[in-house]
Structure 1
Amino acid sequence: MDIILRASVMFFIMYMLLRLLGKRELSQVTPFELVLLVVMGDLVQQGITHNDLSMTGAALAIGTIAFWALALSWITYLSPRAERLLEGVPRVLIKDGELITPNMRRDRVTRAEVEIEMRLAGIANISEVAWAILEPNGKMSFIAKKDDGPAKQEDDDDKAV
């Protein structure tokens, strides 16, 4: 039972820690952050199993973590409120070509990161963006401004009398 309690505590500590780190995709993790994640995994394992190196202990730890991951998945599926709390909400980073700096600061997203994602989406300039949204999974979605083209002018000759 000790391993189940330890695994549960470590699961929620890691969950909260990863939520606090922000909405980053794995491809955006720096090499140093990747090494930290690997080291944290080893430290978590030591904290969960303590001195128990048995197959039973490892199976209990893995089963407990899998249980909590599945439980949270079902909770977020069944409850929109829990989904917003546990998964986060989309955040607008650009509206009508203007950066929304408070939202960017809240998720620690720099202008350079937004510009990189824009170029990957085939958008050259911030002024071309109607909406840029940071999704809960860490990806950025862009909606380009609609180009209405030049205004159509009528000739006096074409007007009906």
Structure 2
Amino acid sequence: MWTDLTHLDISVLDKIIRTVVVYLALIVLLRLAGKRDLAQLNSFDLIVILLLSNVVQNAVIGPDNSLIGGLIGAAVLIAANAVIVRFLRRRSSDRVRDIIEGHTTILAKDGRWDPKALREEGVRQSDMEAALRRQNAYKVDDVDQVKLEPGGTIVVYLRPELESATRADVRRLEAKLDLLLGG
């Protein structure tokens, strides 16, 4: 029993190389698929991600089904991710970061959708309208700008007159009112 759990059917170096190559290949494939797939998953995207993990499993583990082999693969995957994320944050140029992560895309400006940007990013206008509602905009006319960030996050900037007041805004108005009223 212990032999089945601990005996590696392939070398540690082979396991490391397999894991890193599959990881890098998935980065490229997901980057080519677009930003939407990373953060705004719909049912179809979720199914693809789940199946993708099963499809590449054998490429990562090879003929090795041992516990130790699985733990080595997991450790290498986490380490490779940590190294790449830290490299991108600290040492890479904007150009390298744009190639690997992408760049911010403006999907709407001044209350109008940019059909070309929506098409290039592979997002549907109806999905974006749902994202607007989640961020307190009811229609595209309400927004100054809608951005799709490299990680797939949708950021909505309301027109200034539609933005909610903060407590600091209210305090400033109260202070001005006190000055005007002599209080």
When the two structures are superposed, what TM-score results if normalisation uses the length of structure 1? Answer: 0.81
Letter of the structure 2 residue corresponding to residue 97 of structure 1:
G
Structure-2 residue corresponding to 1:95: 109
Q: Shift in Å at residue 108 of structure 1?
A: 0.9
Q: Percent identity?
A: 24
Equivalent positions of 1:89-128 (< 5 A) are 89-128=103-142
SS of the equivalent of 1:72 reads helix
Deviation at 1:60, TM superposition (A): 2.1
SS in 1 for 2:36: coil
After superposition, residues 7-156 of structure 1 pair within 5 angstroms as 7-24=19-36, 28-78=40-90, 79-81=92-94, 82-147=96-161
CA contact under 8 A between 2:144 and 2:158: conserved in structure 1? Answer: yes
State the Cα distance separating 1:90 from its structure 2 match. Answer: 1.1
| SS of corresponding position for 1:147 | helix
| Distance in 1 of aligned mates of 2:40 and 2:125 | 15
Q: Verify the 8 A CA contact 1:134 1:141 in the aligned structure 2.
A: yes
Map of 1:156 onto structure 2: none
- 8 Å contact kept, 1:75–1:83: no
Structure holding more helix per residue: 2
* TM-superposed deviation, 1:26: 6.6
Structure 2 unaligned segments of length 5 or more: list them: 1-12, 163-183
Q: For the Cα contact (< 8 Å) 1:25–1:137, is it kept in 2?
A: no
Cα distance change on mapping 1:28 and 1:84 into 2, 3 Å: closer
Give 5+ residue unaligned stretches, structure 1: 149-161
Aligned match of 2:172: none
1:20 Cα offset (Å): 1.9
Question: 1:29, CA displacement in angstroms?
Answer: 2.5
Deviation at 1:80, TM superposition (A): 4.1
Q: Is the 8 A contact 2:40 2:153 kept in 1?
A: no
Deviations 1:85-125 (A, max 9, x none): 22221111111112112211110112111111111112122
Q: CA RMSD in A?
A: 2.1
When the two structures are aligned, how many residues end up with a matched partner? 148
The 8 Å contact of residues 35 and 151 in structure 2, kept in 1 or not, is answered as yes
